[in-house]
């Protein structure tokens, strides 16, 4: 493809509303055009998106899934005019279930996966960060129709391989965030890819552990050595409302303060103790005590339970159930509220000055905490949801009439699952993860073209002929090549080449021809390799296809 006949409107400056790298780069590289009425994929962006699409379609084919395409009906009239037809809502199962109900009736036809790849509403109410949180995205929606929950669980896990491959090809790490695995018949999980600017907070460690921070359990803390500096005693702390206030007043670090938080767990008051430098993890607390509803207690309840206003609760003498984070249990001594306004206890020793009947992991994991697998230190990252897997409950199957006859001729409800993958997000996340100051750095698998020929001195006949011949030779070998034939300065063309970031740059100019050939440079390395003109096609093919 010759640049002059193509349409790659690169920009020197990123738009002022672009905050994240992938947004800036996709606009600057002429991949997308944004406007108040929506956005448009430009040719280069569309090519990359179609490469993601091809990878997904290929995988779905290998899984035996069959592709369909649902088309909504023109909607009713409104204000006298026919209302415009609408893209299907986020994961609307009804058209798929309609097909299943009409055309699948026997256990012999199951399992069956129906999928489609279409641009549709993501459920994001507003367009944010361009393609990372689009309100409309190219999406693969699959409905997994199976005989029973066990088969469904297995079928849903088959998609893991596709995600693994997609993420390998895009340079993203991924993992499946399950529920707690307590009930196989209910799946509601997300595929998360590690990507800067993602909305999910992720913990990883060198052991291979990776998980949402909120869901990350950590290793118990070792018992702190040494005795308390003295007996427990009451000190006046008037006007201290926070851990920081107490820490400053009493000249102890926040990690020496024990926070006592009063919660209502299924309407019953409980106390949760965490270190002053830790945050209570409500998800963990609720899970550990198996509460259906958990909420922080109102000031009146706190006062009636502790006898003191909010800010002065403490475990000493408290008569409600206490859940003690094991980082608190590991403390040699600490500072706690005294259940009395304007007063704290110092030199409080767990198990001596208050009973520790139940220790749990209830603090929000922090960087440096040790992972649950091999006790390696955790580091924190950002992640983005690229896929979603969930089961449609029995009630839904009944409502949608998804039934089949089993081996014995009895009518059964199918176990139905949904898998959704956002191809748009995967592409944006891949750019977010792989770029430098000069531009995008494409992985070969997603690059919109395999390589770019940059011709310098295009007014020179010899250069133009050599570059044109090479373009044709590569194209006839099935290599996708973008040939920058514009009559512009080398600086502009090299900058554009770095910006659009194809894996291999091939430079042809009077200077390179004088040296006997062309110059090859990979996007990821500064080295330049000079190759004789006749050897160029095979050398380039070898690099592109390696």
Residues at the contact surface with a copy of itself, assessed by CB under 8 A: 5-7, 9, 30, 33, 35-43, 46, 49, 64, 66-74, 82, 84-87, 89, 94-96, 98-99, 102-103, 112, 114, 118-119, 121, 124-127, 134-136
Tell me the C-alpha distance between 364 and 211, whole Å: 13
CB closer to a copy of itself out of 121 and 339: 121
What is the spatial order of strands in the sheet that 481-484 belongs to? 481-484, 451-455, 504-508, 517-522, 528-532
The CB-of-137 to a copy of itself minimum distance in angstroms stands at 8
CB closer to a copy of itself out of 70 and 524: 70
The answer for 206, left when phi > 0, alpha when psi is -120 to 50, beta otherwise, is alpha
Task: Give bridge partners of residue 412 from the DSSP assignment.
Answer: 404
User: Exposed, middle or buried by CB within 10 Å (0-12, 13-18, 19+), for 410?
Assistant: exposed
Q: Which two tokens stand for residue 480?
A: 């996708």
Residue (of 341, 343, 93) closest to 233 by Cα position: 343
Helices (H), 307-390: 326-329
CB closer to a copy of itself out of 33 and 340: 33
CB closer to a copy of itself out of 69 and 411: 69
Task: Give bridge partners of residue 272 from the DSSP assignment.
Answer: 261, 323
The CB-of-29 to a copy of itself minimum distance in angstroms stands at 13
Residue 128 near residue 103 (C-beta atoms within 8 A): no
The CB-of-85 to a copy of itself minimum distance in angstroms stands at 5
The CB-of-100 to a copy of itself minimum distance in angstroms stands at 10
CB closer to a copy of itself out of 137 and 348: 137
Q: Which two tokens stand for residue 428?
A: 């944006």
Residue 394 near residue 15 (C-beta atoms within 8 A): no
The CB-of-108 to a copy of itself minimum distance in angstroms stands at 8
Angle at 432 between CA 429 and CA 437, to 5 degrees: 165
CB closer to a copy of itself out of 75 and 268: 75
The CB-of-171 to a copy of itself minimum distance in angstroms stands at 24
The CB-of-397 to a copy of itself minimum distance in angstroms stands at 17
CB closer to a copy of itself out of 16 and 292: 16
CB closer to a copy of itself out of 81 and 514: 81
* DSSP H or E run through 211: strand 210-212
The CB-of-83 to a copy of itself minimum distance in angstroms stands at 8
SS3 41: strand
Tell me the C-alpha distance between 52 and 49, whole Å: 5
CB closer to a copy of itself out of 85 and 150: 85
SS3 521: strand
Find the helix packing angle between 461-476 and 536-545, rounded to 10°.
Answer: 50
The CB-of-448 to a copy of itself minimum distance in angstroms stands at 12
CA 79 to chain centre: 42
Task: Give bridge partners of residue 138 from the DSSP assignment.
Answer: 119
Find the helix packing angle between 159-170 and 149-157, rounded to 10°.
Answer: 20
CB closer to a copy of itself out of 71 and 293: 71
CA 44 to chain centre: 24
Residue (of 535, 374, 521, 383) closest to 452 by Cα position: 521
Helices (H), 229-325: 243-250, 282-288, 299-306
CB closer to a copy of itself out of 340 and 486: 486
Q: Which two tokens stand for residue 72?
A: 């909504």
The CB-of-153 to a copy of itself minimum distance in angstroms stands at 21
The CB-of-125 to a copy of itself minimum distance in angstroms stands at 5
CB closer to a copy of itself out of 6 and 380: 6
* DSSP H or E run through 99: helix 94-103
The CB-of-400 to a copy of itself minimum distance in angstroms stands at 12
Angle at 425 between CA 50 and CA 138, to 5 degrees: 50
SS3 192: strand
CA dihedral 544, 538, 529, 468 (to 10 degrees): -90
CB closer to a copy of itself out of 48 and 291: 48
The CB-of-27 to a copy of itself minimum distance in angstroms stands at 10
């Amino acid at each position: 493809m010759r640049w002059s006949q193509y349409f790659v409107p690169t920009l020197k400056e990123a738009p002022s509303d672009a905050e994240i790298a992938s947004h800036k780069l996709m606009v600057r590289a002429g991949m997308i055009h944004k406007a108040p009425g929506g956005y448009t994929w430009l040719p280069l962006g569309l090519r990359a998106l179609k490469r993601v699409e091809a990878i997904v379609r290929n995988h779905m084919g290998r899984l035996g899934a069959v592709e369909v395409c649902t088309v909504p009906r023109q909607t009713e009239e409104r204000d006298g005019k026919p209302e415009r037809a609408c893209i299907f809502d986020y994961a609307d199962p009804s058209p798929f279930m309609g097909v299943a109900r009409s055309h699948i009736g026997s256990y012999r036809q199951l399992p069956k996966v129906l999928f489609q790849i279409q641009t549709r509403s993501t459920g994001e109410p507003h367009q944010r960060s361009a393609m990372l949180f689009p309100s409309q995205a190219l999406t693969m929606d699959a409905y997994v129709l199976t005989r029973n929950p066990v088969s469904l669980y297995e079928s849903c896990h088959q998609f893991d391989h596709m995600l693994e491959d997609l993420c390998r090809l895009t340079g993203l790490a991924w993992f499946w965030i399950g529920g707690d695995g307590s009930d196989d018949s209910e799946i509601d999980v997300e595929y998360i890819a590690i990507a800067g600017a993602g909305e999910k907070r992720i913990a990883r460690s060198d052991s291979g552990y990776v998980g949402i921070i909120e869901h990350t359990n950590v290793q118990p803390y070792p018992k702190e050595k040494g005795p308390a500096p003295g007996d427990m005693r009451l000190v006046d702390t008037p006007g201290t409302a926070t851990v920081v206030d107490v820490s400053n007043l009493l000249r102890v670090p926040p990690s020496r303060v024990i926070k006592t938080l009063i919660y209502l767990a299924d309407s019953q008051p409980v106390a949760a103790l965490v270190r002053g430098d830790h945050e209570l993890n409500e998800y963990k607390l609720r899970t550990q005590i198996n509460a259906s509803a958990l909420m922080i207690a109102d000031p009146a309840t706190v006062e009636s339970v502790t006898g003191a206003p909010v800010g002065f609760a403490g475990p000493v003498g408290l008569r409600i159930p206490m859940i003690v984070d094991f980082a608190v249990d590991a403390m040699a001594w600490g500072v706690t509220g005294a259940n009395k306004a304007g007063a704290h206890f110092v030199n409080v020793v767990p198990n001596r000055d208050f009973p520790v009947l139940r220790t749990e992991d209830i603090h929000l994991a922090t960087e440096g905490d040790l992972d649950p697998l091999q006790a390696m230190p955790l580091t924190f990252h950002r992640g983005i949801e690229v896929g979603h897997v969930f089961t449609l409950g029995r009630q839904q199957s009944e409502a949608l009439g998804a039934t089949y006859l089993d081996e014995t001729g009895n009518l059964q409800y199918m176990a139905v699952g949904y898998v959704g993958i956002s191809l748009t997000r995967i592409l944006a996340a891949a750019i977010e993860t792989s770029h430098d100051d000069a531009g995008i750095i494409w992985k070969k698998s997603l690059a919109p073209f395999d390589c770019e020929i940059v011709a310098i001195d295009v007014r020179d006949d010899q250069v133009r002929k050599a570059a044109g011949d090479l373009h044709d030779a590569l194209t006839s070998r099935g290599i996708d090549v973008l040939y920058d034939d514009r009559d512009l300065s080398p600086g502009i063309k090299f900058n554009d080449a770095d910006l659009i970031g194809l894996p291999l740059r091939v430079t042809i100019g009077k200077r390179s021809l004088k040296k006997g050939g062309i110059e090859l440079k990979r996007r990821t390395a500064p080295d330049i390799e000079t190759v004789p003109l006749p050897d160029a096609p095979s050398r380039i093919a070898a690099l592109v296809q390696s």
